[in-house]
Amino acid sequence: MDDLIDWEQQRAWVEIDLSALAYNVRQIRGLLAPSTKIMAVVKADAYGHGAIDIARTLTDMGVEWLAVATVTEGIELRQAGIFAPILVLGAVNSEMQVHEIAKWDLQPTICSIAQATVISKAVATLDPSVVLNVHLNLDTGMSRLGADWQQAVAFYREVEDLPYLQIASLYSHLATADELDPTVMEMQIDRFDRSIAAIAAAGHLLPMLHLANSAGVLVSDRLNYQLVRPGLILYGLCPAPHLQSAIDLQPVLSVRARITQVKSITAGTGVSYGYRFIAKRDMPIAVVEIGYADGIPRRLSDRMQAIVRGRLVPQIGSITMDRIMLDVSQIPDLQVGEIATILGTDGSVRITADDWANQLGTISWEILCGFKHRLPRVSK
């Protein structure tokens, strides 16, 4: 976070409500058995929220594990003084990556015997006392990373037999937990449970088990196992409308920008590139210092709204790289320097990432991850 910035002069920023994050963690805890731990997913800069401050808040609240997508993301957290166990969800396939993982006390995912062999050989070149905690990923139906669940016993045994590796957990990832039809999810649960049973029957001591993503946490407590991996719900958004009644959440992220010019235009005047908006009457407009280079999708041109003084106002004309224009006919005596809320709450009015996602036919994850780093993050 950029706490030293003079916010009176800042053109636009992402505002992070850490109290909302804490509230969401408490709500998630309320759905879990006391013995189930949380592995908070903070990849992609904590879904655009700022991974370091988010991770600090989470660990201060007692969240036991963190998960990132890449080795670089894990190193960033370690360099910031965050010492919780960190799982790297992405594939690791080079000796250099393994050395960095060992140096920074990260824990890699293993998806194949070939990958496990590479990691074991790389660890062998380090201090002989180094033993790397690794996490085995089974593909139970996502068809992404992971070993074939039908080969779970052989996979487990061969990794267990490799030197310098200690199996810390076994996990899989749900493909359709946020869908109304539970058929595929039930198939994946069955495959995961059959894999677990087969490994145990072969005489292996089971490690920690985890399967539930955000939707999985909300669907059923039978998916909890020893760990859950919430992502989106940490940040205050629900993965599907039909799951909203399962948990009360508060959005963590808001986006705000300053009005830098207020002007009046006459009927027939075009606004912005391409004149996709032409005024049908004399009207005041406000220029706001935020655009598609900051993360507002250009496809929202003439379709989105902002909030000014607690009232919704329409955006007009093409969204440009650095600016948007608003129809402020309903806001009397608007002044330069006033704040427009792009996402978030002002008074009793709220605009969410879900609203944008629904308009664009996409998902809220993409919206959150789209806000660029030229927008400073400020926590409150």
Q: Supply the residues annotated as catalytic.
A: 43, 273
192: enclosing H helix or E strand = helix 183-201
Evaluate whether 251 touches 237 at the Cβ level (below 8 Å). Answer: yes
What is the DSSP track for 105-173?
Answer: T-EEEE-SHHHHHHHHHHHHTS-TT--EEEEEEEESS--SSSEEGGGHHHHHHHHHHSTTEEEEEEE--
Paired tokens of 93: 């396939």
How many C-alpha atoms does 233 have within 13 Å on its Cβ side? 32
How many CB atoms are located within 10 Å of the residue 16 CB?
23
How many C-alpha atoms does 367 have within 13 Å on its Cβ side? 26
| Dmax (CA) of the chain | 81
Q: Which distant-in-sequence residues (6+ apart) come within 8 Å of 313 by Cβ?
A: 286, 305, 306, 307, 326, 327, 328, 330, 331, 340
How many CB atoms are located within 10 Å of the residue 57 CB?
21
Chain centroid to CA 141: 22
Q: Which distant-in-sequence residues (6+ apart) come within 8 Å of 292 by Cβ?
A: 298, 319, 320, 321
Give CA angle at 364 (243, 142), nearest 5°: 70
At residue 244, what are phi and psi to the nearest 5 degrees? -65, -30
In the chain, the amino acid numbered 287 is: V
Evaluate whether 229 touches 13 at the Cβ level (below 8 Å). Answer: no
